[in-house]
Amino acid sequence: MREQITFLGIETSCDETAAAVIRENKNGTADILSNVVSSQIAEHEKFGGVVPELAARAHLENIEFIIDKSLKDAKINLNEIDGIAATAGPGLIVCLTVGLNIGKSIAAFSKKPFIGVNHLEGHALSPGLENKIEFPYLLLLISGGHTQYLIVKDVNQYEQLGTTIDDALGEAFDKTAKMLNLGFPGGPNVEKFSKLGDKNYFKLPEPIINKAGCNLSFAGLKTAVLRESKKINGDEKMKYNLAASFQNTINKILFKKTKVAIEIFKEKTKKKEVRLIVAGGVAANKSIRENLSNLAKEMNCKTIYPDLKFCGDNAAMIAWAGIKRFNKDLIDKIDISAKSRWPLDSTAPYMKGPGLKLD
């Protein structure tokens, strides 16, 4: 076995077709030998959201080229790879299956170990690509499909502290953009146009702000944006005011809930020093970063934001999680199947649907 492990990673859980070759270096961080991401924004733009069948077809059309390119960019051939990791969930089954099957096939014919990675574990461990950080740390994962606070205790060991009880944060951004006709993908456009508006113009609700620990809710906020967007009749200035007020409300919610999460983290881990990692596509939002950095200063904790290229969906984080699992002998059988739902903390309560009690 080689001293420094090298993995090919494959990611097709939603609308990015991605492959990467990653090597663990002597410092314990990663050498990014290649990181190829092909986004399908153009395919889904006219529908204002991701269409699963179209996404799966685009993955099928692109995946071989993307994997080939990742090997060529890395100037490496398959013999020099120690294992293959592909996202096995959570995500859209028709999409996951494309990357998972090709990953399993490559592993089978090259007789290499295969690891089916939980996409959320990819995000959770992604700060380790660039930083040597010790466990445990507090993770705020904010993406198009997920919004969670987790204690990352070790590879394969997670404790969920809170999650959204309705929409994911990225979804709230995307829906707000749709209601305001700001285009797709919504998040970056809401951020851009909110800079042109008055953030205090609209008073929007902050659902469950003073209850339910660090669980979050965005549905009531989204409904309020819908109601106001109907009243403003497409007036440009008011649209920017509404985008700015939405962004400001999100900042207030995240400030309060992250504060609660830090307190719970301290209590559970008995650690005085807290490292807060913010990952996922929405972590690209500069206003959210500034806001959470202010909170961190106030609470004397350290924030780490993965580089933008590792915030959104990518295969570097999947290869990296593969290496980390491989080092712990967490190797999968080749018959592992795709899972649409796959929480990192299997003991965490399911926080959606009627009958949910919050206190």
Chain positions contacting ligand AMP, by CB under 6 A: 143-145, 170, 173-174, 185-188, 191, 280-282, 284-285, 312-313
Binding of residue 55 to Mg ion (CB under 5 A): no
Binding mask 310-329 for Mg ion (x = CB under 5 A): ---x----------------
The residue among 112 and 339 lying less far from Mg ion, judged by its C-beta, is 339
The residue among 95 and 276 lying less far from Mg ion, judged by its C-beta, is 95
CB of 128 to ligand AMP, least distance (A): 17
CB of 296 to ligand AMP, least distance (A): 19
Other beta carbons within 10 angstroms of residue 138's beta carbon come to 26
Identity of the residue numbered 227: R
48: left (phi over 0), alpha (psi -120 to 50) or beta: left
Find all residues with CB under 8 Å of 143, minimum gap 6, and list them. 123, 168, 169, 170, 280, 281, 282, 313
CB of 24 to Mg ion, least distance (A): 25
Please list the residues that pair with 12 across neighbouring strands.
none
The partner in contact with residue 118, picked from Mg ion, ligand AMP, none with C-beta cut-offs of 5 to 8 angstroms by kind, is none
The residue among 158 and 173 lying less far from ligand AMP, judged by its C-beta, is 173
The CA-CA-CA angle for residues 150, 156, 157, to 5°, reads 45
The partner in contact with residue 170, picked from Mg ion, ligand AMP, none with C-beta cut-offs of 5 to 8 angstroms by kind, is ligand AMP
Residue 103 CA to residue 128 CA, distance in Å, equals: 23
CB of 284 to ligand AMP, least distance (A): 4
Closest listed residue to residue 332, CA positions, set 12, 128, 84, 2:
84
Site residues for Mg ion, 260-299, by CB under 5 A, read none
The CA-CA-CA angle for residues 78, 306, 84, to 5°, reads 20
14, 37, 88, 301: residue in contact with Mg ion (rule CB under 5 A): 14
Residue 47 CA to residue 185 CA, distance in Å, equals: 11
CB of 143 to ligand AMP, least distance (A): 3
Question: Which parts of this chain interact with Mg ion (CB under 5 A)?
Answer: 14, 16, 313
